[in-house]
Amino acid sequence: MNKPLNNRDLTMTDTTIRKSVFLGVDKARVWDFLTKREHLNIWFHPPQEDLAEGKDYLLTSQKDGDRMCWGKVLEARPHDYMKWDFTVGPLNGTMTTVEWQLEAAPGGTRLTLIHSGLPESGEGYGLVMALDKGWHGFLLNLHGLD
């Protein structure tokens, strides 16, 4: 039997995006796809340079070179964990957090994305859904990469 909701349950919102994919390559190779300019360009958005801890980044559109997302790499522990400040135009300068966790799996790597700090209002939910859809597609792009 389900436990009844209390008032706290009715007012709590969690718009954190959590996604995992299993990839048939080792953690070092997945790390390259998360940090190296030439690999990010294939599955995500082209950066100006490789991503590194303590450095700002700017990722641009594949189509027209417009600014897509930007922030700073807050932490990078090769080949296990990376954390970014992250924003896009519709967030109007509000920084969110993107975390990448890499775990060894039989025959490859489990890559987990956690995107937190997203809008919790009904008005912002469309953006959460758009980001969720975007991350889903980008993570699917990683399948089959060697």
- Whether residue 49 contacts residue 59, with contact meaning beta carbons closer than 8 Å, is answered with no
68 within some domain: yes
**Per-residue pLDDT tens over the stretch 11-57:** 457 999 999 999 999 999 999 999 999 999 999 999 999 999 999 99
Say if 86 falls within a structural domain: yes
Q: Is residue 115 part of a domain?
A: yes
Q: Is 52 domain-assigned?
A: yes
Let me know if residue 8 belongs to a domain. Answer: no
Domain membership flag for residue 4? no
Please write the tens of the pLDDT for every residue from 86-144: 999 999 999 999 999 999 999 999 999 999 999 998 889 999 999 999 999 999 999 97
The reply to whether 108 falls in a domain is yes
Domain count, the chain: 1
Contacts of 12 (CB under 8 A, 6+ apart): none
Which CATH number does the domain housing residue 24 bear? 3.30.530.20
- Please report whether residue 146 resides in a domain: no
- Domain span at residue 53? 16-141
- Phi first, then psi, for residue 114 (nearest 5°) are -130, 115
Q: CB atoms < 10 A from the CB of 56, how many?
A: 12
User: Is the pLDDT assigned to residue 4 strictly greater than 70?
Assistant: no
